[in-house]
Amino acid sequence: MAPALRVAVVHPDLGIGGAERLVVDAAIGLQAKGHSLVIYTSHHDPKHCFEETRNGQLEVHHVVPPFPRAIRGKFHILFAHLKQLHLTLHLLWPWAPKYDVYFVDQLSTCVPFLRSIGGTRVVFYGHFPDKLLANGEFVEGNLKKTQVGLLKRIYRFPMDWLEEVTTRQADVILTNSNFTARVFESYFPSIRQTLTTVYPGINIAAYETPVDASDPDIVAVTSDVPTLLSLNRFEKKKNAALAIASFAKLRERMPQLTNMRLVLAGGYDPRLEDNLQTLMALIDLARSRSLTLKIITSSSSSVTPPRGIISTQNNPDILFLLNFSTGQRTALLAAASTRALLYTPANEHFGIVPVEAMCCGLPVLACNSGGPTETTVSAPPNARTGWLCAPDAELWADALVEIVSMREEERAALGVRAKERARSVFGMEAMAGRLEEALERAVAMGPPDAGRVWLVMIFGCLLAYFIAPLVI
């Protein structure tokens, strides 16, 4: 049996999202295997985070940076780099705790510093290249570039260069899906090492724990009304509008479903313009389809809904749930009244939510691209755990008609298959085992050679810093 490792986890923003859920579950899984972990982050709001990071189950060090998130809604990536460099400085102080290996998630800026100055091996977990997210829309395996000005191209060049150069410095590079691995290999050609796919895992026990039905948060979301559920951050790219449009068409095709509701639940941060605009657009869409609505938040959330849009409807067609709690998530996924999970993003890099649904035996309806094609089995019917469709409301309505018309024995059989697949392929134990192998492989390489790559990194960061004023 290999000795226990001291692991430092570096994550830029420990809020509520798929990447953050992975970090939390990975830390819990590795702790269960006897390893000690500490999470370092530049942002952690106890009122906008997963419960495990605030209840003492995980040790979190929040290093508050002197930089803003953005200036006038711009330069997010520049300040993300600067904040991580600030965080890295705290990890490299002579009196800072020492670790056997660093597990760096999402942002690779710190990788060469931790290796060359800290003298410690680094495992990097990549979710998706930021250069693709910033420079265009990734559609069906190809980058569809958007029109950007010369100044933005100048601004992005050192950012994109820095991302590729720092990523390839990692001793072991992991990705969240085979889809993401292919993208990294295509758009970061200087990376020569073989990438390893480690699917995000989930803590299955968390979905099997009974919820307190008397909890006001649980009472606020539970209902005997047949429910379609969507779990996603309120961001435009998540395309929750597809869920509303499909739900409206389903109601048109099956008028007898007048008592069915749609629950749109997800992370919401009013500091982010995209979150606010997306929520308002979804509300406008619902009203244009003559659907009643209500907006609520969990008691642990510090945010309030935008003024003037709170409905007093007791039984709304659409329930908007901002910043749901863990208990609310479990209650909605495991409720007997929930008929399906609608996962609307196209070309999602992985997508943990379909796995959460399968863990609860819930049918999944997702887009036929990206990570969900690896998590959800749509054919043959006797092996199905869900449906994969192009992001078209007509096609989704067709699938929803089939889903809500399933016989109980068909639904039960699908639920058994979904739970087994979730446990065997995407359980936290499976993920923790693969992560443990990656961390041990990095440690077995021995101390890294001291190099001067970090000097080049500093130059790149300073170059980006001085270019920024030209763009503002």
Task: Measure the CA–CA gap between 205 and 45, rounded to whole angstroms.
Answer: 25
**Which tokens sit at 157?**
């060049």
C-alpha closest to that of 181 among 124, 137, 232: 124
Task: Measure the CA–CA gap between 221 and 192, rounded to whole angstroms.
Answer: 49
Give the model's pLDDT for residue 1.
Answer: 59
Task: Measure the CA–CA gap between 230 and 397, rounded to whole angstroms.
Answer: 15
Asked if residue 275 lies in contact with residue 233, where contact means CB atoms within 8 angstroms, the answer is: yes
- For residue 129, is the peptide bond before it cis, meaning its omega torsion is within 30 degrees of 0? no
Q: Do domains 6-201+428-471 and 209-426 have the same CATH topology?
A: yes
Task: Measure the CA–CA gap between 364 and 319, rounded to whole angstroms.
Answer: 19
Give the model's pLDDT for residue 462.
Answer: 46
pLDDT digit string, tens, across residues 32-52: 999 999 999 999 999 889 999
Produce one character per residue of 290-319: b if its CB has 16 or more CB atoms within 10 Å, e if not. ebebbbbbbebbebebeeeeebeeeebbbb
DSSP state of 124: E
Per the CATH hierarchy, to which homologous superfamily does domain 209-426 belong?
Glycogen Phosphorylase B; (3.40.50.2000)
Which residues, 6+ apart, have CB-to-CB distance to 381 below 8 Å?
A: none
Give every residue of the chain whose pLDDT is below 70, as ranges. Answer: 1-2, 134-149, 152, 308-313, 450-472
Give the model's pLDDT for residue 470.
Answer: 39
Bridge partners, 322 (sequence order): 266, 297
| Predicted model pTM | 0.74
Give the model's pLDDT for residue 22.
Answer: 87
Domain locations in the chain as residue ranges: 6-201+428-471, 209-426
Asked if residue 130 lies in contact with residue 80, where contact means CB atoms within 8 angstroms, the answer is: no
Give the model's pLDDT for residue 468.
Answer: 46
**Type of residue at 334:** A
Task: Measure the CA–CA gap between 149 and 138, rounded to whole angstroms.
Answer: 19
Give the model's pLDDT for residue 472.
Answer: 43
Give the model's pLDDT for residue 458.
Answer: 57
Asked if residue 126 lies in contact with residue 176, where contact means CB atoms within 8 angstroms, the answer is: yes
Q: Scan for tokens 């060090």, then name that residue.
A: 61
**Which tokens sit at 422?**
């979730």
What's the CATH number of domain 6-201+428-471, 3.30.70.1290, 1.10.1200.10, 3.50.50.60, 3.40.50.2000?
A: 3.40.50.2000
Task: Measure the CA–CA gap between 281 and 236, rounded to whole angstroms.
Answer: 9
C-alpha closest to that of 116 among 446, 459, 455: 455
Residues in the chain, how many? 472
C-alpha closest to that of 271 among 232, 302, 294: 302
**Which tokens sit at 445?**
């390489």
DSSP state of 202: B
Produce one character per residue of 461-472: b if its CB has 16 or more CB atoms within 10 Å, e if not. beebeebbeeee
- E-strand stretches of 298-444: 318-322, 338-343, 364-367, 386-389
Bridge partners, 423 (sequence order): none
pLDDT digit string, tens, across residues 430-447: 899 999 999 999 999 999
Task: Measure the CA–CA gap between 337 and 225, rounded to whole angstroms.
Answer: 6
CA distances from 224 to 227, 228, 342, 411 (A): 8, 12, 19, 18
Give the model's pLDDT for residue 149.
Answer: 64
Bridge partners, 10 (sequence order): 40, 104
Task: Measure the CA–CA gap between 73 and 273, rounded to whole angstroms.
Answer: 8
Task: Measure the CA–CA gap between 33 and 6, rounded to whole angstroms.
Answer: 12
Give the model's pLDDT for residue 258.
Answer: 78
Bridge partners, 340 (sequence order): 228
Give the model's pLDDT for residue 17.
Answer: 80
Give the model's pLDDT for residue 115.
Answer: 92
CA distances from 407 to 60, 70, 229, 411 (A): 47, 51, 20, 6
Asked if residue 218 lies in contact with residue 331, where contact means CB atoms within 8 angstroms, the answer is: yes
Give the model's pLDDT for residue 416.
Answer: 96
